């Protein structure tokens, strides 16, 4: 991109139509500004006193590190200055109520995948923005289609902001010297049929039938008459999502038979909903295997959900297999139900 388009000028241009547009822009700017400060803290790590030590347990039972707590505080501080009625963060049990008259509610995972930090692997912030309903709290329990914008920041070799807004997915890079985000890709579209999958394969024995069948098809590749698949698993949702935007493929964090994983691992409100909005607005798809993620409404703030997302073809193949096979935790190595050739 030749012209230097800053996030701020991009948001100014976008502010035209939608009723909440200036408020949405203000929230995005708040998250972006906090993420710039957080990127510096992450990059400095031990130099800035980040020990990586556990300092508690979050409401979902995940170990909380000092950087999780710092990220949560940085995002909250920024959002409290923005037109936000309530913040739901991964790091606390209940939403924080702010100005009840403000037009927006924000669900946020301030620092996803922080366990990767000590290995210097990409981690990120994920956010979801909704217009406030009459009752502030019940805003969070509307389906994901209620989101008006969402996105994520990847703190990796580069700091990248992915923004889903006005039905478009745009990507920005942090100019570290100028301390501002610059547009590098506009109207990103996910390749519809990339033969690449991402799943934590160590859980193979715990998966239920449809997921095992899909992955077994991928692994059989051309030996079974289908396409040869490549595999990736970073263990960092933001990094996997960015990869899908760049080159396609399908990501799966399914439900499985382990205690605590019956509804998968990822959280609906601040992980699956925002990623699903990004995927769909980039021409991809996101499902539990049986239901479109964006049509789901949370019943509790930290509800988990199976998440399968990415290229439309891959997501559709997973959904087709789910239609044909009951979700049994059967541990059998049954033949693939005469579906061989599905991927051709």
Q: Residues in the site for Mn ion, rule: CB under 5 A?
A: 109, 112
Least CB distance to Mn ion at residue 258 (A): 18
Cα distances from 171 to residues 2, 17, 188, in angstroms, run: 15, 21, 8
Residue of minimal Cβ distance to Mn ion? 112
Q: Which is nearer to Mn ion, 109 or 170 (CB)?
A: 109
Least CB distance to ligand F6P at residue 112 (A): 5
**Residue 236 contact partner, candidates Mn ion, ligand F6P, none, CB within 5 to 8 A by sort of partner:** ligand F6P
**Residue 235 contact partner, candidates Mn ion, ligand F6P, none, CB within 5 to 8 A by sort of partner:** ligand F6P
Q: Which is nearer to ligand F6P, 92 or 200 (CB)?
A: 200
* Look-up of token digits 């990059």: 43
243 part of the interface to ligand F6P, by CB under 6 A: no
Q: In the window 169-208, what residues touch ligand F6P (CB under 6 A)?
A: 200
**Residue 150 contact partner, candidates Mn ion, ligand F6P, none, CB within 5 to 8 A by sort of partner:** none
Among the candidate windows 50-58, 183-191, 205-213, 235-243, which touches ligand F6P by CB under 6 A? Answer: 235-243
Q: Count the Cβ atoms, other than its own, within 10 Å of residue 205.
A: 11
Q: Which is nearer to ligand F6P, 83 or 113 (CB)?
A: 113
Cα–Cα distance for residue pair 197/232, rounded to 1 Å: 6
Q: Which is nearer to ligand F6P, 62 or 175 (CB)?
A: 62
Among 50, 149, 237, 275, binds ligand F6P (CB under 6 A): 237
Q: Which is nearer to ligand F6P, 266 or 321 (CB)?
A: 266
User: ∠ at Cα 268 (137, 292), nearest 5°?
Assistant: 115
236 part of the interface to ligand F6P, by CB under 6 A: yes
Residue 300, Cβ density class (10 Å: 0-12 exposed, 13-18 middle, ≥19 buried): exposed
Beta strand 250-253 with 196-198 is parallel
Among 132, 265, 273, 313, binds ligand F6P (CB under 6 A): 265
* Look-up of token digits 């100005």: 99
Q: Which is nearer to ligand F6P, 14 or 238 (CB)?
A: 238
């Amino acid at each position: 991109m030749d012209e230097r388009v800053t996030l701020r000028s991009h948001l100014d241009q976008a502010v035209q139509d939608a009723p909440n547009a200036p408020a949405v822009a203000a929230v995005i700017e708040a998250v972006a500004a906090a993420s710039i400060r957080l990127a510096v803290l992450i990059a400095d790590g031990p130099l800035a006193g980040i020990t990586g030590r556990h300092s508690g347990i979050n409401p979902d039972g995940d170990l909380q590190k000092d950087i999780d707590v710092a990220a949560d505080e940085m995002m909250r501080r920024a959002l409290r200055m923005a037109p936000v009625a309530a913040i739901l963060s991964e790091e606390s049990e209940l939403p924080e109520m702010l100005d009840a008259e403000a037009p927006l509610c924000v669900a946020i995972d301030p620092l996803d995948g922080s366990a990767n930090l000590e290995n210097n692997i990409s981690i990120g912030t994920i956010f979801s923005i909704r217009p406030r309903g009459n009752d502030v709290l019940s805003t969070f329990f509307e389906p994901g289609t209620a989101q008006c914008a969402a996105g994520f920041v990847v703190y990796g070799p580069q700091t990248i902001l992915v923004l889903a807004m006005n039905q478009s997915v745009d990507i920005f890079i942090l100019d570290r010297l100028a301390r501002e985000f610059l547009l590098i890709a506009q109207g990103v579209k996910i390749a519809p049929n990339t033969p690449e999958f991402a799943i934590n394969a160590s859980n193979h024995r715990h998966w239920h039938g449809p997921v095992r069948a899909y992955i077994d098809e991928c692994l059989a590749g051309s030996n079974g008459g289908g396409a040869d698949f490549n595999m990736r698993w970073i263990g960092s949702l933001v990094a996997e999502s960015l990869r899908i935007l760049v080159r396609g493929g399908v990501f799966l964090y399914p439900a499985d038979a382990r205690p605590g994983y019956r509804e998968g691992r990822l959280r609906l409100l601040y992980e699956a909903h925002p990623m699903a909005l990004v995927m769909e607005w980039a021409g991809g798809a996101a499902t539990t295997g049986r239901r479109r993620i964006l049509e789901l409404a949370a019943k509790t703030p930290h509800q988990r959900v199976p998440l399968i997302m990415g290229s439309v073809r891959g997501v559709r193949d997973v959904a087709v297999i789910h239609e044909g096979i009951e979700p049994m935790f059967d541990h059998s190595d049954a033949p693939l139900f005469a579906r061989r050739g599905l991927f051709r």
